[in-house]
Amino acid sequence: MTDEPDSRTPPSPYHPEEIKADFDLKVGKSISLRGSARCTPAGVIAAGITASIILLAVGVLVRATLTKRAP
């Protein structure tokens, strides 16, 4: 027996409100992409807060740079 999980069975959800997304993208005959993602509502909120904080910081830096350049 091995301790590794069976690769044929899908992983069980870690959260009851889990959000899943899958996509297949084909471009021509030679390029094919497949992707999937899983997240929880709390993860979506955390990503939104993180993006907002980064955008706020970039705005402050741009404003400070433009203020120093003005005569």
7 located within any domain = no
Domain-embedded: residue 53: yes
Answer whether residue 1 is part of any domain: no
- Tell me the average pLDDT across 45-55: 96
8, part of any domain: no
Domain assignment of residue 32, yes or no: yes
φ and ψ at 36, to 5 degrees? Answer: -150, 155
- Residue 59 C-beta-side C-alpha neighbours within 13 Å: 6
Would 54 be classed as within a structural domain? yes
Boundaries of domain holding 44: 19-69
Domain membership flag for residue 12? no
Q: How many domains does the chain have?
A: 1
User: What pLDDT digit, counting tens, does each position of 8-47 carry?
Assistant: 666 665 667 888 899 999 998 899 999 998 888 889 999 9
The model's pTM is 0.56
